[in-house]
Amino acid sequence: YSYPAGEEVELKWGDAWCVSAGEMYNWVKESEGVTDWTERFHQVLGVPTSKNYNTVTALWVDPGVLNRPAYVTDITAPMTNTYQPTGNE
């Protein structure tokens, strides 16, 4: 597939799970000792291990159209692995 720079792309096949290249690079560097990378990628991306995903791609997306489906929804805010309930859930 080829997507020319500056062109819009419409996803017709479903949702796309996105992470920043920097976050993924740091995660891989910090994951020394992982023995099952396929399972671990499924876990870190939050997709079922029963899915047979086999493609990774890089693309630029306008940050204004992104949504982070997490308790920290602001895509510019750092994400942490420690959830602290506020009592208002």
The three-state secondary structure class of 12 is: coil
Interval 22-33 mean pLDDT: 86
Q: How far apart are CA 40 and CA 4, in angstroms?
A: 32
Mean model confidence pLDDT for the chain:
78
Cβ 70 vs Cβ 45: under 8 Å: no
Q: Given pLDDT bands bounded at 50, 70 and 90, which one contains residue 25?
A: confident
Q: How far apart are CA 53 and CA 33, in angstroms?
A: 22
Instruction: Read off the tokens for 48.
Output: 């079922």
What is the value of pTM for the model shown?
0.48
Q: Hey, where are the domains in the chain?
A: 21-65
Q: How far apart are CA 39 and CA 60, in angstroms?
A: 26
